[in-house]
Amino acid sequence: MRIGAHVRAGKGLVPALQHGAEIGADVVQIFTQSPRMWKPSQYGAEVLAGYRAAQAEHPSVTSTFCHATYLINLGSPDPELLDKSRACLNANLLTAEGMGSDGLVLHIGSHRGSGFETALPGIVHSLLEALDHADAAPGADGGSGRSCPILLENAAGAGDTVGRSFEELATVIDAAGGDERLGVCLDTQHLWASGIGFSTVDEADALIELIDATVGLGRLQCMHLNDSKVAFGANKDRHANIGDGTIGADGLAALLGHPAIQDVPAVLEVPGEGDGPRTEDVVAARAAHATGVALRS
């Protein structure tokens, strides 16, 4: 299993690869713009091409994921907010595809009390519009010959969030016609907070069976590996460093060691000392993975 980390992009994007290498990460994840601002960062074709080239030649960081802006809410009943969300998603996906990213991770948003079924058509329209827009852009795939998928992330379960269960994510994907450009990102802290256990071998096995029966394991293309500051079932999105939270390193191990997900990269989104993942966090993640593999040997 490749262990990755969310890192700062840096000017011109390429420094993200160095930041990842410095802490020993195999994979990096970045924001293509400020996560809490609507205005997208503008990158010229030469910058995007430069990143693709640097990624292809990097000796240790093997792939890049992007994370969409937190402000995006594809479930919003507010037409103005929905329009801004769609435009922002379009911009984020164009950058991710131009970089040659392996996926753009997305929090779908909240239906704000309107109900999941009411919000569903607008969510599906937004996703397909963004994917089609990116695919139609001149040179969007950077010559890679493939599209950058949107990876729908499971939510922690707070309020009226969409995607708090794999059944709900499967409903979104099915409503989009099973589009192959839609995948899934599993977040361990969000699972824990939403009351889905995985800290024993039996629980981890049941989770993998659930994923396969709903969205399908083939769509699981990325994991966010996080401990939790809050208790099981608390429905709050609060990440902790590996081993410092209520899941614990041993609680993460049973899932990390599952043979069906060894090709799925696990990306740390932990606070570190306040500036994101550190070398010791990557080391702790690898140790938890080794423990999990040993559990099944």
- 198-220 pLDDT, tens digit per residue, is 999 999 999 999 999 999 999 99
Q: What is the mean pLDDT of residues 274-295?
A: 98
At 42 the pLDDT is 87
Which of the two residues, 12 and 203, has the higher pLDDT score?
A: 203
At 146 the pLDDT is 63
d(CA 197, CA 194): 9
pLDDT at 186 over 80: yes
Strand 3-6 and strand 27-31: pairing?
Answer: parallel
**Domain containing residue 172: CATH number:** 3.20.20.150
In a domain, 14, yes or no: yes
Q: Which domain does 32 fall in, by range? A: 3-290
At 142 the pLDDT is 52
pLDDT at 282 over 90: yes
Nearest-5° Cα angle at 185, 208 to 145? 115
Tokens (6 digits) for 274? 């306040």
Q: What is the mean pLDDT of residues 37-55?
A: 93
In a domain, 196, yes or no: yes
Q: How many domains does the chain have?
A: 1
In a domain, 296, yes or no: no
At 123 the pLDDT is 98
In a domain, 297, yes or no: no
Confidence of residue 66 (pLDDT cuts 50, 70, 90): very high
For the chain, give the percent of residues with pLDDT over 70: 97
At 139 the pLDDT is 60
Per-residue pLDDT of 131-181, as tens digits, reads 999 988 766 555 555 689 999 999 997 779 999 999 999 999 999 999 999
What's the mean pLDDT when you consider all of the chain?
A: 95
Backbone angles phi, psi at 26, to 5 degrees: -85, -20
Tokens (6 digits) for 154? 């499971």
pLDDT at 106 over 90: yes
In a domain, 45, yes or no: yes
Min mean pLDDT across 30-44, 68-82, 183-197 is at: 30-44
In a domain, 156, yes or no: yes
Per-residue pLDDT of 256-275, as tens digits, reads 999 999 999 999 999 999 99
In a domain, 295, yes or no: no
